[in-house]
Structure 1
Amino acid sequence: MSDITTELQKSAAIVRISEEDIRSISEEMRLKLTPEETSAIYEWCGETCRSYQRVYELIPPTPLVRYPRTPGYREQEDDSWYYRCDIKGAEEGLLAGKTVAIKDNVSVAGVPMMNGSKLLEGFVPDKDATVVSRILDAGGRILGKAVCEDLCCSASSFTSASGPVKNPYDPTRSTGGSSSGSASLVARKVVDVAIGGDQGGSIRIPASWCGIVGLKPTYGLVPYTGVMPVEKTLDHVGPMTRTVEDCASLLEVIAGYDDGNDPRQFPSLPHPPYSKLVNYGIKGKKIGLLKEGFKDMDEEVARVVRQAALTLEEAGAEVSDVSLPIHNDGKAIWSPITFEGTYQMMVKGNGHGYGWKGTYDLQLQEALAKAYNLRPFDCPMTLKIAMIFSEYIQRNYQSKFYSKAQNLVQHLTKEYNRILKDYDVMVMPTLPSIAYKLPTSNNTLRETLKLAQGMVKNTKPFNLTGHPALTINAGFIEGLPCGMMIVGRMFDDLTVLQVARAFEKLRDC
């Protein structure tokens, strides 16, 4: 058989660019190509098409799915589950006997993943996220995919295409989001532990409103491989548990370098045995109550959290006030990065974009590309706002504000680090109030949108800087949980856990 016949039998990777395509693009981009230049580009692109063809034909290695599973079934009764399954991990390990829920933006091979959105309904990943593999290797038993907010674009719990997730303490109130189902399932003891994701508070917000422990680890400590990205510089994945000891154990299992698959990481990541050291104690530790973190809070929330933090003196810690005015600007700095970065990565880049080394999920990228092309109207209103505003900004101001915000992140990070040279951790309320009422048909669209993002003053800054931040229940107000957030030095998640565990012992004694 001739080479020509072989070439004809191959499926073409792309349609070969024509001279008319080149002229049209040239005109649109104001390149002013001459006929000779057009012809030369046409010939050059022909050779380039061969490279694309070869990339199309090459087959990258796919990780083996090592633990048997069936697709499971769609949950009909519990609003916190999207899909139920039963995947048993190794016989032994740190999580042996523990049941686990996985947020539905995390890939579990063979189990449908909707990420809360109509856009991805019917999508089934073919590989496990790294955190899922590590959980199974450590003996965890995965019982299903927990509901999350629509494309993780809400901090409340009413935007998921599967319906609202109601607060375990009051069904008329929000669970918080976007890791809404994970928080509810843990709080109601349906599972022992869960995985959540966090770009602006999406682990800590629902953990706070459900009265559980939620840790946004140091940026890059836990690999994000196999989790649907939102904005690469903000993405975090971490544990949600009922106890600090379980949080330490789950972090120990999922933390660590992922062999270059995740660009958020670097090889020499600290990885101490958190589960063995969490009860070490905090005698002599210095704890700073961040004044700015207590401002613009409900008075009772501020009082409960301050009182809770002061009990740490009983464990031998020194507790005092500290001030850092730039903390108040964290939310503003977060906005250009989230709006424009999300638009570029999650929408224009179909969840991935360009410019980073690591593992790209081609299957997810293809599914998103089709969905955005066919049904962009099914995007949640929160994402539509980001799309419209980002397109306006980029057409008129290019990337100037995104770039300036990223520069300001460096300054914000240094300022927190300056405080953390003198203090082991900073403490503040996680959220400004107890759980909001879920919106009803009586709420205007403007009111509903405010409920989706109106509680994130203290959570957002640490997605920017990457400092570890943990929420733990400080007490109850009107029968509803109130979270205290503990923030530590970069990659000193251990001290954050130790402070939380010391408080937990005092609270529960």
Structure 2
Amino acid sequence: MMNGSRIMEGYVPEYDATIVTRILDAGGTIKGKSMCEDLCMSADSFTSVTGPVLNAHDRTRSAGGSSSGSAALLALEQVDMATGGDQGGSVRIPAAWSGVVGLKATYGLVPYIGCVPIGITRDHVGPMARTVHDVALMLEVIAGYDNGLDPRQPANLTVPEYTKQLTGDLGGIRVGLLKEGFGSESAEADVDELVRAQAHRLTSAGAVVEDMSVPLHYPDASHIYSVVHEGSLETMKGNGLGVGWKGFHPTSMIDALIKGYRTRANDMPPTAKFNYLLYDCITTNYGNRFYAKGQNLSRMLTHAYNQALSRYDVIIMPTIPFKATKLPNKDISTSEICKMALNFGQMSNVCPFNLTGHPALSINAGFSQGLPVGMMIVGRHFDDATVLKVAHAFENIRDSKI
């Protein structure tokens, strides 16, 4: 579980999140709440209220965010499984830089009730672990319909036994290496080369691996995300939920956010202040025009990926185009904090799939210069099973001593 915001300091919920209840009912033990970035508004790991979350492989570097604590605890083998929230990559980014497995499941597959929303069209919560099997096992437990409490979910949800489909056999599976996911402006050559080489090893499990293209992916997709991202920050003014949707509304959480925003606004992290002011400026001058345009373009983006996934079972690319960055020194300026923590180059491959809702998993492709490199596997809506199957087959190949 995750925790971390001065805005909500002292708030004790009167009920568990749905995923917590399901974990407990399945026999799991909640060891505690891991630290995340303050208000979850950073793709890095230096804005949490208790100080930086350190990378388990190099303590001078970021663990990735915003689900930074969950990834670090897994990498340090302090817990077996963890959860993370993902509105723009916040499960997959720390999974990549910490060398663990993190799944942003299909939008709506895992109920979000009991987690603080950031954007109802982008909210995901998902499993994290050191192995694909443990991620699949946890998904079996936490996925499924939440009795109409969560409007993100379709009513006809079914949850397969994901673990039974981890056969290691990829016969008939077609894998596309997304051209636009490699070689971006911020990409490091060793990251691109490692992910490409490792993906081609899937042929030994029977897969067909070849290059393919979705021109809208880069750089357009992250630009589309940026306006939808800012628009959905209405949840800050709407105290976590806003209005206009059916489902369960946790009133005590809303009360805590109202109190926090009104009495402790200065305690918000610089990233949240920046986003709040930017959103306020945009809406004051242009209303919701850009948000609306972004949502419309998201439909085009979803169609583009769906077209590609009609030809391929999964799409692969680096999770993050570069290796874990150095943590900043203590006298870093506010503008530099925002520049580092809200890095769309860091998010360019991950954030598009928050808009489109496709399942996307990060798995460690290996190490370069002693640092983990994440490989992201993306699949069709509600075909999380194939994503996990491909990831598990790769994990077997990667760890094989032959």
TM-score (norm 2): 0.97
C-alpha distance in 2 between matches for 1:310 and 1:414: 26
Task: Return the match for 1:221 from 109, 113, 116.
Answer: 109
Task: Return the match for 1:387 from 254, 276, 279.
Answer: 276
C-alpha distance in 1 between matches for 2:48 and 2:336: 18
C-alpha distance in 2 between matches for 1:464 and 1:207: 20
Per the alignment, residue 103 of structure 1 pairs with 2
**Cα drift, residue 441 of structure 1:** 3.1
Per the alignment, residue 301 of structure 1 pairs with 191
RMSD of Structure 2 on Structure 1 (CA) = 0.9
Q: Could you say what secondary structure the match of 2:190 adopts?
A: helix
Matches within 5 A, 1:341-420: 341-342=232-233, 344-345=234-235, 347-420=236-309
C-alpha distance in 2 between matches for 1:442 and 1:291: 39
**Cα drift, residue 386 of structure 1:** 1.3
C-alpha distance in 1 between matches for 2:130 and 2:198: 18
Corresponding letter in the other structure for 1:103:
M
> Could you list the per-position Cα deviations for residues 294-321 of structure 1 after superposition, in whole angstroms to 9, with x for gaps in the alignment?
0211100000000000000000000000
Corresponding letter in the other structure for 2:391:
A
> Could you list the per-position Cα deviations for residues 94-120 of structure 1 after superposition, in whole angstroms to 9, with x for gaps in the alignment?
xxxxxxxx122xxxxxxxxxxx22111
Per the alignment, residue 149 of structure 2 pairs with 261
> Could you list the per-position Cα deviations for residues 221-256 of structure 1 after superposition, in whole angstroms to 9, with x for gaps in the alignment?
000000000000010000000000001000000000
Task: Return the match for 2:43 from 149, 155, 163.
Answer: 155
Q: Could you say what secondary structure the match of 1:422 adopts?
A: coil
* Contact kept in structure 1, 2:2 and 2:36, CA below 8 Å: yes
Matches within 5 A, 1:10-29: none
Per the alignment, residue 508 of structure 1 pairs with 399
Corresponding letter in the other structure for 1:281:
D
Per the alignment, residue 313 of structure 1 pairs with 203
Task: Return the match for 2:356 from 465, 480, 505.
Answer: 465
Q: Which runs of 5+ in 2 are unaligned?
A: none
Corresponding letter in the other structure for 2:203:
E
**Cα drift, residue 444 of structure 1:** 3.8
**Cα drift, residue 485 of structure 1:** 0.2
C-alpha distance in 2 between matches for 1:439 and 1:124: 32
> Could you list the per-position Cα deviations for residues 132-177 of structure 1 after superposition, in whole angstroms to 9, with x for gaps in the alignment?
0000011101100000000000010110111111000111100001
Q: For this pair of structures, how many residues does the alignment match? A: 395
Per the alignment, residue 249 of structure 1 pairs with 137
**Cα drift, residue 443 of structure 1:** 3.7
Matched, 1:282 2:181: no
Corresponding letter in the other structure for 2:216:
I
**Cα drift, residue 280 of structure 1:** 5.5
> Could you list the per-position Cα deviations for residues 197-234 of structure 1 after superposition, in whole angstroms to 9, with x for gaps in the alignment?
10000000000001000000000000000000000001
Task: Return the match for 2:316 from 397, 406, 427.
Answer: 427
C-alpha distance in 2 between matches for 1:387 and 1:449: 12
Task: Return the match for 1:120 from 1, 8, 15.
Answer: 8
Q: Could you say what secondary structure the match of 2:330 adopts?
A: coil
Say which one has the larger Rg: 1
C-alpha distance in 2 between matches for 1:278 and 1:262: 29
Q: Could you say what secondary structure the match of 1:268 adopts?
A: coil
> Could you list the per-position Cα deviations for residues 59-82 of structure 1 after superposition, in whole angstroms to 9, with x for gaps in the alignment?
xxxxxxxxxxxxxxxxxxxxxxxx
Per the alignment, residue 205 of structure 1 pairs with 93
Q: Which runs of 5+ in 1 are unaligned?
A: 1-101, 105-115
Task: Return the match for 2:216 from 326, 330, 337.
Answer: 326
Q: Which has the higher contact order (CA 8 A, sep 6+)?
A: 2
C-alpha distance in 2 between matches for 1:141 and 1:371: 30
Corresponding letter in the other structure for 1:122:
G
C-alpha distance in 2 between matches for 1:283 and 1:443: 51
Corresponding letter in the other structure for 2:159:
H
Per the alignment, residue 474 of structure 1 pairs with 365
**Cα drift, residue 442 of structure 1:** 5.2
**Cα drift, residue 401 of structure 1:** 0.6
Corresponding letter in the other structure for 2:380:
R
